[in-house]
């Protein structure tokens, strides 16, 4: 089968790595509710150790917390999942996406001064993502403070120099409250140490798409 690949003019983009980056408007009230909810959970539960170095990592039952703010987050994840799937797969997904179940798991991360996340990927799902609730008060003099970094997954992509370094480089993003990122589950990523005061709160999630039985 010939895959459906994005094309601009005569240039076909084979093996693309899509990353959804959406800034949700009017997220102030939602983020305040999510921040209160996460900090209350942190006080009540010991958390787990995964990719986090320092900080607090909840278990993976975020979407079972039973709060209106979590229901809104879930709605946003569903909407973003549809967008990245349709834009990645094109016409091949238009009928398919309407007949699949989206299974979600998620967890909260609270990072304080010097905490970070080691390089990792998210196995056994379709898409992975993160939503940023608050960033704390970071030290503006520190380069890439709290930024997320993605690693080019392709081997031996060390061709000649090109403007913007489209091949073989790392891709860093400085998050903002209300920003959601979504990307293939296999894409390696890590988070630079947060240096500053307050709490940097993010909500990470996995989405598994499962076609319904006929």
* Per-residue pLDDT tens over the stretch 134-165: 999 999 999 999 999 999 888 788 767 788 88
Q: Average per-residue pLDDT in the chain? A: 92
User: Region 174-184: what's the mean pLDDT?
Assistant: 97
Domains of the chain are 18-153+167-211 (2.60.120.620)
The token duo for 8 is 């601009």
Q: Angle CA(72)–CA(96)–CA(19) in degrees, nearest 5? A: 55
Beta strands 100-111 and 20-23: pairing type? unpaired
Q: Is 187 helix (H, G, I), strand (E, B) or coil?
A: coil
What percentage of the chain reaches a pLDDT higher than 70? 98
Cα(54)–Cα(115) distance, integer angstroms = 5
User: Region 88-106: what's the mean pLDDT?
Assistant: 89
* CA distance to 2, 10, 117, 132, 183, per residue, from 24 (Å): 35, 33, 24, 10, 17
Nearest to 21 by CA among 172, 182, 145, 204: 182
The token duo for 202 is 């993010």
Cα(30)–Cα(28) distance, integer angstroms = 6
The token duo for 49 is 């150790």
The token duo for 141 is 């003099």
Q: What are phi and psi of 142, to 5 degrees?
A: -95, 120
Question: For residue 4, is pLDDT > 70?
Answer: no
Nearest to 63 by CA among 80, 55, 52, 75: 75
Beta partners for residue 129, in sequence order: 182, 205
Q: Tell me the pLDDT band of 90, cut-offs 50, 70 and 90.
A: confident
């Amino acid at each position: 089968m010939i895959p459906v690949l994005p094309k601009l003019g005569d240039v076909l983009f084979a093996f693309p790595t899509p990353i959804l980056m959406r800034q949700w408007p009017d997220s102030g009230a939602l983020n305040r509710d999510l921040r209160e909810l996460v900090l209350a959970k942190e006080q009540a539960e010991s958390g787990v150790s995964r990719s986090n170095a320092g900080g607090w990592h909840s278990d993976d039952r975020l979407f079972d917390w039973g709060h209106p703010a979590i229901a809104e987050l879930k709605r946003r994840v569903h909407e973003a999942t549809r967008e990245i799937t349709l834009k990645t797969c094109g016409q091949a997904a238009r009928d398919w996406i309407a007949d699949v179940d989206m299974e979600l798991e998620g967890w909260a991360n609270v990072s304080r001064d010097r905490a970070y996340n080691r390089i990792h990927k998210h196995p056994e799902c379709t898409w992975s993502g993160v939503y940023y609730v608050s960033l704390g008060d970071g030290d503006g003099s520190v380069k890439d403070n709290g930024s997320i970094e993605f690693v080019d997954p392709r081997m031996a992509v060390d061709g000649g120099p090109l403007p913007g370094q489209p091949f073989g480089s790392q891709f860093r993003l400085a998050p903002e409250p209300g920003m959601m990122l979504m990307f293939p589950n296999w894409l390696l990523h890590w988070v630079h140490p947060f240096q500053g005061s307050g709490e940097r709160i993010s909500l990470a999630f996995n989405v598994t798409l499962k076609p319904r039985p006929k």
